[in-house]
Structure 1
Amino acid sequence: MLRIKFAPLKTPLERRLQTLAAACWFVTLAFGGTLCLAAVLYLTFYTRLWWLTLLYGAFIFYDRDVCNKGGRSSDWVRRWAWWSYLRDYFPLKLVKTADLDASRNYLFCAFPHGMLSTGAFGSFATEALGFAELFPGLRPHLVTLAGHFLLPVTRELALSCGSCSSSAESMGYLLSRPGGGHATVLIVGGAAESFYCRPGSYRIILRRRKGFIKLALKHGTPLVPVVSFGETDLYDQVSNPEGSWLRWVQDQFRKVFGIAPIIPIGRGFFQYSFGFIPRRCPVFTVVGRPMEVEKIPDPSRQQVDEVHQRFTDHLLAFFEAEKHKYVKEPDKTLLEIE
């Protein structure tokens, strides 16, 4: 028999607002683009505001390349008070382990993706965790799929938070900015990594991800390992082992749309047993020491492989050094690399 653990009826308003912020966060990421597109289509075909949506569509077309040219970050949006409720819900914390020279550009390589990359978003797409104070002079750009910047309304939110496209053109633009001061944040495993999201598990996709290494070599950009400890504890998911029909459907959907249709197991507003709201678990996003990369404008496959192996070793050493501070059973927790 299903046992449901209910939340206390007498809960402070502050905690209710935190839960609401986490729920809105999930809905925005999972359905925001689709809902906004549906709203725009409705206004276009069923109201007299069609001219307004056509103007907006023309603006999106005109503005389509901004995600490849550094984006359009807004300090006002990044400092919304609403983000502090999202931060305090888990809570989220950003940890610095080394100083970074603001006169240089960096490529932050973030792991794991988890279900929603909550730690990376809170740390690098908002100022709720104090990125500007920890890394003065650096402006973070959390990169994501270019298709997200074609969806109405949500594209404006993503751009305002400092996000840019994860295309080679976009990342090359950021990594080559004169004067430095840019931190490009790439979640290396991508959406495919979310299939491995299970509480207590740190299984990442890295072996076959080498494009970011080639970009770093072309621009001589230091690689900075970033691990969000606790990211995978926010959700469980419906069983979908490799080879199952559900996993096959999910893989095909991801290949077409770039989004992994995971069926999450979180909590609800008034109970803790199931639902789409992430669980209240602390997430520590730890930024490691940069690994220097020699500038080679046209690197060979062997050079890419050598730097890839060096970064893998650097990441493993960083994970092993930090896990004892943030994981409940560090001796049983390993970074599994696919």
Structure 2
Amino acid sequence: MKAMEIFGIKFAPLNVPLKRRLETFVVGAYFSFLYSIIVTGYFGKYVIAIYCIIYTKILRYFVLLYTIWLYYDNDMHDVTGKRAQFKQWLRTSAMSRYVCSYFPIKLVKTSDLDPNKLYLFCNFPHGILSTGVCVAFGTDAAGYRELFPGIEIRIVILDRHYQTPIFREYCRITCGANSSPESVNQLLSTKPQAPYTGRATVLMVGGAAEATESKPGTYRILIKRRKGFVRLALKNGVPIVPVCSFGETNLYDQVSFPEGSFPKKLLDYIRKKFGIPLILLKGRGFFQYSFGIIPQRTPVTVVVGSPMDVPKIEEPTEEQIDEYHAKFLDRLVDFFEKEKHKYVENADTVHLEFV
């Protein structure tokens, strides 16, 4: 099926199969919801709350009750009861399958993991939204339960997301975990509840800042000065597992500005002030491929490497942290170079770029 180009805009062919159109609709609706709830929650939650309290008669009581709920229901790791039931439904829902098959997203393991252990999965690159990781690990659509039976999965996400009304609840039922050191340390030091026997904590080491480095065909990752994950792994004696999302950076392009320019300084200020990058996305639309907020339909393969064992050192020194940080970087490069030929076009010209 060849796209139709009119005035420089590439439109989807008229004979696109119904299944593909349905996948596009589900993905478009899903990402539109995420964008709207995140942007509204981050930048407008206080304005909306004040407006509802002052100018509405009924909504004010819902706002007040929800505020009380936020204060008392603050155990971010509690996913039991109704939450657990809804989480399981969401992981296996038709929506998850449509989102997974849209790209498609595949999950590959290169070695078996002991289901009775705790692991720290370090994923690269972050991309714009870490879509591959969220679908591969946050749902069962890519076969996570079959590949890693008995291992509970938790995806570490921005602390700011847990301060966003409504989106906070979504994060909790989709295997999210707070990015604070205390939260990650708790996950790496405690066994999960039954029926799980082990746990994998997924960390995007580059974080939100790495999203600003995401460009199609590149693998620029922020890791040279980020060593906190090594400290936590050593403190708990938890193996570090390299994970690479091949194709993640191809889902979106973004508008870039020169270093030192006013737009660049403004976007950097917003990222530092609010904790999230304000990125001008270049995706596709429902019926055309040239612009929009829907990710491009390109494959993403999340490959899980073999674990790097580390000793348990309750108070690791800087020298020990540097030593194992360097060992992990070497392991990550070897892993990437070995696997890239299976999933990357012109693989000989593509390499990891450490920032």
TM-score after normalising by structure 2: 0.90
Do the aligned residues in 2 keep the contact of 1:29 with 1:116 (CA within 8 Å)? no
In structure 1, what residue type is equivalent to 2:68? A
> Partner letter of residue 270 of structure 2?
F
Task: Provide the residue aligned with 1:17 in structure 2.
Answer: 22
Query: Which deviates more from structure 2 when the two are superposed, residues 145-154 or residues 274-283?
Result: 145-154
CA displacement, residues 5-50 of structure 1 (integer Å, 9 cap, x when unaligned): 1111233332122112222333233331344647666654424132
My pick for the range that moved more, 216-225 or 15-24, is 15-24
Whether the 8 Å contact between 1:78 and 1:160 is mirrored in structure 2 is no
Corresponding residue of 1:101: 114
Pairing 1:279–2:296 present: yes
Cα distance in 2 for partners of 1:114, 1:316 equals 18
Could you tell me which of 53, 58, 80 is aligned with 1:48?
Answer: 58
User: 1:237 maps to which residue?
Assistant: 254
Q: Summarize the alignment of residues 187-336 of structure 1 with structure 2, pairs less than 5 Å apart.
A: 187-336=204-353
Deviations, residues 73-119 of structure 1 (Å, cap 9, x unaligned): 52122222101111111110111111111111000000101111000
How many Å separate the matches in 2 of 1:195 and 1:49?
37
Q: Give the match's secondary structure for 1:142.
A: strand
Closer/same/farther in 2, CA of residues 40 and 87 from structure 1, 3 Å limit: farther
| 1:140 equivalent in alignment to 2:149 | no
State the Cα distance separating 1:199 from its structure 2 match: 1.0
For 1:253 and 1:21, locate their aligned partners in 2 and report how far apart those are by CA, in whole Å. 30
**Partner amino acid, structure 2, of 1:241:** P
CA contact (8 A) 1:174 1:184 kept: yes
Equivalent pairs counted in the alignment come to: 337
The answer (yes or no) to whether the contact 1:197–1:232 under 8 Å persists in 2 is yes
Contact 1:70/1:173 (CA < 8 Å) preserved in 2?
A: no
Shift of 1:2: 5.7
Contact 1:68–1:173 (Cα < 8 Å) also in 2? no
Tell me the secondary structure at the aligned position of residue 175 of structure 2.
coil
CA contact (8 A) 1:22 1:86 kept: yes
Residue 86 (structure 1) aligns with: 99
Pair 1:331–1:313, CA change in 2 (3 A): same
Structure 2 counterpart of 1:280, one-letter code: R
Q: Which residue of 1 aligns with 2:3?
A: none
Which structure 1 segments of 5+ residues have no match? none
Q: Post-superposition shift, 1:52?
A: 2.6
2:76 aligned to 67, 71, 91, which one? 67
RMSD: 1.9
Separation of aligned partners in 2, 1:34 and 1:198: 22
Distance 2:38 2:251 in 1: 22
| Cα pair 1:109 1:224 within 8 Å, conserved | yes
CA distance in 1, matches of 2:71, 2:105: 36
Partners of 1:219 and 1:151 in 2: CA distance? 30
TM-score where L is the length of structure 1: 0.94
Task: Name the CA shift for 1:43/1:13 in 2 (closer, same or farther; >3 Å).
Answer: farther
Partner residue in 1 for 2:174: 161
Structure 2: stretches of 5+ with no match in the other structure: 1-5
- 2:90–2:96 Cα contact (<8 Å) kept: no
Identity of matched residues, %: 49
Deviations 1:105-156 (A, max 9, x none): 0000001011110001001111111211110000110111222112221111
Distance 1:245 1:146, change over 3 A: same
**Which amino acid is 1:211 matched to?**
G
**Cα distance, 1:76–1:107 mapped onto 2, change above 3 Å:** same
Pick closer, same or farther for the CA change 1:10–1:40 going to 2, 3 Å: farther
| Alpha-carbon distance in structure 2 between the residues aligned to 1:235 and 1:121 | 16
2:185 aligned residue (167, 172, 182): 172
Letter in structure 1 aligned against 2:210: E
- 8 Å contact 1:70–1:174 — kept in the other structure? no
SS of alignment partner, residue 15 of structure 1 = helix
Distance of 2:258 and 2:183 partners within structure 1 = 35
